[in-house]
Amino acid sequence: MNYWFECKVSYERQADSMGMKKVSESYLVDALSFTEAEKRIIKEVRPFVSVGELEVVNIRRARIAELFLNDEAEDDRYFRAKVNFITVDEKSGSEKKTSATMIVKSDSLPNAVTELKAQLDSQMASYEIASVTDTQILDVFQYEAPEK
């Protein structure tokens, strides 16, 4: 079973005017462990670092239940959604809410909410959307089996 890790990297790149500028970027990586996540993020980001040193500043495990990604060119932002799934306890008759975090790729907040609703409406569970927020994530690197 793979896990999602939010990795923050830092490196220097050419500024618009003269000189170098240190930038920090966040990525989401599918990996089995912190070690594998670090190895994969270095492999994925290193080709984009032309000058200076790439530094992995932070890696943290992200508890993400589901990702709704697409290949649309204009969808270039990632939104974090907190969704509460509602179940009813038959014995007591009370509602129980179980929260789940999901990532939605979209071009805007309203479109992210629309996409999230479309995906959740296709499921049989009752739900409520607690929050949808923009993230600093620039890209998602899913696991790809090595070619033989």
For 47-95, the pLDDT digits (tens) are 888 777 899 999 999 999 999 998 888 899 999 999 999 988 888 888 8
Number of domains in the chain: 2
Does 50 share its domain with 101? no
- Rounded CA-CA distance 107/74 in Å is 6
Residues 19 and 55 in one domain: yes
Q: Is residue 144 part of a domain?
A: no
Lay out the sheet containing 77-88: strands in order across.
Answer: 66-68, 95-106, 77-88, 126-134
| The total number of residues written for the chain in this structure | 148
The CATH number assigned to the domain holding 24 equals: 3.10.20
Domain final position from 24, 40, 62: 62
Q: At residue 77, what is the residue type?
A: R
| Domain membership flag for residue 146 | no
Look up residue 95 and give its amino acid.
E
The tens digit of pLDDT for each residue in 128-142 reads 999 999 999 999 999
Span between the terminal Cα atoms of the chain, in Å = 21
**Within a domain: 145:** no
The pTM is what?
Answer: 0.86
Question: Same domain, yes or no, for 96 and 126?
Answer: yes
**Is residue 9 classed as helix, strand or coil in its secondary structure?**
strand
